[in-house]
Amino acid sequence: MNRRAEILHQLAEFQTPPGPLLAELRTFGFYEWTEPPLLVLNADHFRNVLNRYLSGAIAAKQLQDWAECLERRDDVGFDPSVAEVLDEIQFRLANPEINGGISTAVVTGMLEELG
């Protein structure tokens, strides 16, 4: 696995603060990715981070930052079986100011949408 893919996987798993990883990711430059995605986000990625929010391990702003750093990247895709749901949840998390905010009730609803 190349370093760019490693960084994306570490971001998806959100085991460490994303700041240093994003800084390193920027060193690759921003250009349109024409290869297959280096990371395919699935429902488990989302369940993990949403549950971490509900447990108090991460704050709403951290959840928003997580969604923003992975949103609309050409080198990141979604599991096709749940792509529409994941795309919608990611958009709502990355843009809480226009989507009703991030709260326990909202995140619990997202987990229900994931099944």
- Per residue in 1-28, is it b (16+ CB within 10 Å) or e — as a string? eeebeebbebbbebeeebeebeeebeee
pTM of the model: 0.91
Per-residue confidence (pLDDT) for residue 4, from 0 to 100: 92
- Please provide the DSSP assignment of 55-115 as one string: TTSS-HHHHHHHHHHHTT-TTEEE-TTTHHHHHHHHHHHH-GGGTT---HHHHHHHHHHH-
Query: What does the domain layout of the chain look like in residue ranges?
Result: 3-114
Amino acid identity for residue 77 in this structure: G
- Token reading at 89: 């949840």
Q: What are the pLDDT tens digits along the chain (115 aa)?
A: 699 999 999 999 998 888 898 889 888 866 678 899 999 999 999 999 999 999 999 999 999 999 998 998 989 999 999 999 999 999 999 999 999 999 999 999 999 999 9
Per-residue confidence (pLDDT) for residue 25, from 0 to 100: 87
Per-residue confidence (pLDDT) for residue 30, from 0 to 100: 62
